[in-house]
Amino acid sequence: MTITELLGLDDLLAQMILAVGAAMVIGNGFALIQHARGRDKERAAEFRTARAWWFVAVGLLITLWGVASLLTR
């Protein structure tokens, strides 16, 4: 038995990938919703809608990769 199997590092890596992807989808989705409701007017920075949608798409891809990695074990 190797240390990787003993500590379950393969599953941990897949779970971390899933968590990062889900955080990207949830965080940018929340920002898009807040922007659509007009609740970001007090912020000094400019909101970039295309970038937020891009991060949602990339986060969805990473999330699917994490789910697939966990299911194929």
For residue 53, the tally of other CB atoms under 10 A from its CB is: 13
Cα–Cα dist 50/67, whole Å: 26
| Mean pLDDT for the stretch of residues 49-62 | 98
Cα–Cα dist 22/56, whole Å: 9
Residue 44 has pLDDT above 70, yes or no: no
Domain borders along the chain are 8-71
Residue 4 has pLDDT above 90, yes or no: no
CA 56 to chain centre: 8
27 to 10, 60, 65: CA distances (angstroms):
26, 12, 18
- Per-residue pLDDT tens digits for 12-34: 999 999 999 999 999 999 999 99
Look over the chain and give the mean of its residue pLDDT values, rounded to a whole number: 92
